[in-house]
Structure 1
Amino acid sequence: MEFDKLIKILKSGLEHPLPGKDAQLIMSPQPVDPKRFLTRESGSHRQGAVLIMLYPDQGQAFFPLIKRPVYEGAHSGQIALPGGKKEKEDPNLIHTALREASEEVGIVPETVEVLGTLTDLYISASNFLVTPVIGISHIKPDFVPEEKEVDRIIQTTIGQLTDPTFRKRKNLELSKNFSLDTPYFEVEKEMVWGATAMILGEFLQILENGKQI
């Protein structure tokens, strides 16, 4: 999708109430984990934020995804949006998203226009309540992956999310006795699933809402 057209649609979509849980559920693994939909006041979770940062390349709208390196942890090797935990020094979660994206992929926070935030989503595997932040850059960033946290950066077109041929489903076996019926986006032969897919599902619904003008 053309960058300028997308931004117009997105801004219009953000004028509507957030789609929230209903949109997140479209890309949720089954059975649904009810903990996903914790409120900010619930439990002893940690706070974090991720960034959907849109930018132009040859007139088309892109955003970066990252592949985590293989490590001893809950999200080893997974595809994610740039982001991480809120530090004490962060004045708010928007700052967290921009700071983490700067550290992980080398964006310059001052070049990002923040449009708003999406619905919080809880990630039980790491005990984070994550706030997705939407921002735009009118220039293509010079991406630099942080070696310890990012295996590679995947520059993703919005078209890859909206094209139904990139939306798939599989039975994902997480252990010998537990599996999930998992919808996902296939991007550069990588599986974008779980919380990241659910966040992107709400983002796509916002775009749909923005077209109704």
Structure 2
Amino acid sequence: MDFDYFLSLNSKIEELRLGGLESQFKMIPKERKMITIESIKEANPKKAAVLALFYPDQFNLTHFLLILRASYDGTHAAQIGFPGGKFEENDGNLKITALRETSEEVGIPMERIKMIRKITDTYIPPSNFMVSTFLGLSHHKPLFKTNHEVEEIIEVPLQDLLNDKSVSVQNLTTSYMENIDVPCFHLNNRIVWGATAMMLSEIKDLIKESLL
């Protein structure tokens, strides 16, 4: 998708009704136990925020950023996701958390990112985090500078996400189940599943709706 055309959709993207959990739950295995709002409240999840950043490549085609996290002693080590992390009190709000973490992890100055909107929060049971996802854009291709938390930058053409052929099912062993069929996205020859796939599903539905 041409980046200028993507920019022209932003006003609709800002105002459209979100797909919410209906969109996100397209990407969860049928064996996963549905978690109620009441049980989430009882778990008292920690707060975190991530940023889905859109930007043009050298041909003015729209891309978005994913990262491969480095291997470390943590629940989300060596996983593919958006830049982001845990809310800190000094942030003041979760939007700042998403911007700060993006700046720290991939080197994009906060002031060069224009926020578009927030989508539906995503609960991650294994780490007990409630994650707020923000959509943002950079008018220029960023010069990425990663820190120790990031193993690799993954630049995905937006058109690949919008292509229904990118969705498939992969048999995986996860942190909570063994040998199950998990809905996933195939992007840049990578398998993207779990919470990130849930977020991407809602983003995909939102952008597709803006095209109508």
Same fold per superposition (TM over 0.5): yes
1:31-180 superposed matches below 5 A: 31-35=31-35, 43-57=43-57, 58-146=59-147, 148-174=148-174, 178-180=178-180
Q: CA deviation at 1:175?
A: 7.0
Contact (CA 8 Å) 2:162, 2:208: kept in 1 or not?
no
- Aligned with 1:29: secondary structure? coil
Distance 1:33 1:192 in 2: 20
Q: TM-score, normalised by structure 1?
A: 0.91
Contact (CA 8 Å) 2:121, 2:132: kept in 1 or not?
yes
Cα deviations across residues 68-125 of structure 1 (Å, max 9, x unaligned)? 1222322221100000000010111000000000000111110111111000010111
Distance 1:53 1:46 in 2: 23
- Aligned with 2:19: secondary structure? coil
- Aligned with 1:191: secondary structure? strand
C-alpha change, 1:80 and 1:175, in structure 2 (3 Å) is: closer
C-alpha change, 1:38 and 1:128, in structure 2 (3 Å) is: farther
Q: Which structure: greater helix fraction?
A: 2
Q: What percentage of residue pairs aligned between the two structures are identical? A: 37
- Aligned with 2:115: secondary structure? strand
Q: Please, which runs of 5 or more residues in structure 2 have no aligned partner?
A: none
C-alpha change, 1:112 and 1:37, in structure 2 (3 Å) is: farther
CA RMSD of aligned residues (A): 2.1
Q: CA deviation at 1:177?
A: 6.7
Cα deviations across residues 116-174 of structure 1 (Å, max 9, x unaligned)? 1000010111111000001111011100111x210000111101211233222112123
Paired residue total: 211
C-alpha change, 1:94 and 1:36, in structure 2 (3 Å) is: farther
For residue 90 of structure 1, what is the amino acid of its counterpart? D
Distance 1:176 1:40 in 2: 17
